Structures are given as C-alpha cells and as structure tokens.
Amino acid sequence: MTKYEHTQIGYLIISVLFAATVFVAITGIIAPSDRGVLLIDAIIELILLICAIVFSKLTIKIDEETLQACFGIGLICKKVPLTEIVGCEPIRIRWWYGWGIHLTPYGWLYNVSGLDAVVIRLRNATANRPISPVRGTNAARSSSGRH
C-alpha cells in the first residue's frame, strides 16, 4: 500500500526538448544536405524525443518498505529501503544543477523541474540523494520514523 505518491511534470524540459527537436527537423528540411547529414539529424531528433519522454515527469512513491523515484514511464527508477534512510531535509538547489540525474555537492540529484528538493540522508553518509519535489519531506520523515 502506498503511503505517499506525488508526480512532478517537467513542462519546461518537455517544451525545451520539443522546441529543439522541431528546430533540428526544420533546419534539416531547409538546409540542402546529403543523406549522411539527414541521418544524423534524424538520430538527434530521436534522442531528443526519447529524452523528452524519459525525463518528462518524476514520480516519488513511499510505501511501507521503500522510497522510489521514477522518471517518465518508469524506465529509470531508484529504490531506497526505508531502513537505510536516517533523515531528510528540504533544500533549495542552484539553477545550474539542471534536470535529470546527476551528481551535485549534495549528492545525486533526481530532478525534472524547480529548485526545491529533499535531501535523503542514508546510513552510508556518502550516498545522500536530493530528490524533488519538496512535498515529500514530511512523508519521508514519517515513513522512516526519523527526523
């Protein structure tokens, strides 16, 4: 049974990736090119569309045993047993940390939009995980039984 679930939609990342895909398509059509260039354009368009689908949203779920963060349609998920969580706190991240999954000074960041996140402190102190959205702070605290 799910105790907490929240999905954050990355409207900005969807818009940016879609606009980039359209730009590549239009320049590929307008600019005279050979087959090799058109193939490269098609590959770039495909990669941009896949990124838009995969990173379009982030769903955070907490049940009796795990905290789970899944991107898009669920191809990329990270599960953390609640027994490994020793604490959490809301933070404000820098805008240049960007979107997606990447390493920040706080640890690994899972993000599709916004600057608010939650740092999940694990027993292994080197593996802190800031995740977004910030609404998960109280749910994570109550589920882990720690503050």
Q: How far apart are CA 142 and CA 130, in angstroms?
A: 17
* Most distant CA atoms of the chain, gap in Å: 63
86 neighbors 122 (Cβ within 8 angstroms): yes
By three-state DSSP, how is residue 98 classified? coil
* Contact yes or no for 144/80 (Cβ under 8 A): no
Distance between CA atoms of residues 47 and 40, nearest Å: 11
Reading the chain (147 residues) residue by residue, the pLDDT tens digits are 778 999 999 999 899 999 999 999 888 888 777 888 888 888 999 999 999 999 899 999 999 999 999 999 899 999 999 998 888 888 888 888 878 888 888 788 888 888 888 888 888 765 555 565 544 444 454 554 544
Q: What is the pLDDT of residue 93?
A: 85
Q: Rounded to 5 degrees, what angle do the CA atoms 55, 9, 123 make?
A: 70
CA distances from 130 to 7, 69, 81, 124 (A): 16, 11, 15, 14
pTM of the predicted protein model: 0.75
